[in-house]
Structure 1
Amino acid sequence: MIHHIAIGSPKLDVLVRFYETLPGLTRIRENRTEKKELRSVWFQVGEIILMLESDLEKKGPKALIFSAASLDKKSISTLPNWIQETEYTKYFKDPDDNLIGYSSYPALWPF
């Protein structure tokens, strides 16, 4: 079972604003350094925590795919334009060029 996924970014504030717009993610925690600078922001995604962390190097995953099970047509319309599609998964990129998506597997894409 996965507990959390951490993504490092040199542009943490930009990445946080992007992930806040995605359906199915709930912002649950913000961590700051001793100098009160933003260090990380955590999102709840089902049972998994997604941790966006300040890092001078880009350290994103190859792809981060969320479940489409709880999405509705209104949520779908708020997502960025798809850059790639399969019969199960729709993909787009975040501001750090990480591949993000929503998958309906094992059912065919419902929308």
Structure 2
Amino acid sequence: MGKKIDDYYVNKALQLYLEGLTYREIERILGISHVSIMNWVKKYNIKRPLGSNYHPTYKILSATELSNYFQNTKNLSGAGVVVTELGDKFMLIKWERFRD
């Protein structure tokens, strides 16, 4: 039996998967095998929404960097943003709004 990975990281991996990151990108961010992530997606029957024609960008920021990011109003217009805790840092996931 393999080692048990904390549920915190399982949830983060699945969250990032639903946000559109690839298995390899999640592996680089969390330090967890992309194969483990694929297995969790299958185990929990996670499905991404159909028709997602975007790929989010992400940044890993300290609390100070995150605060500075949000102080610039140009960073807040025309895009969706999600922030999640990642250890002692924060991950900011951003995607442009759909345009007709």
TM-score, normalising length from structure 1?
Answer: 0.30
Structure number with the higher strand fraction is 1
Structure number with the higher helix fraction is 2
Larger relative contact order, structure 1 or 2 (CA cutoff 8 Å, min sep 6): 1
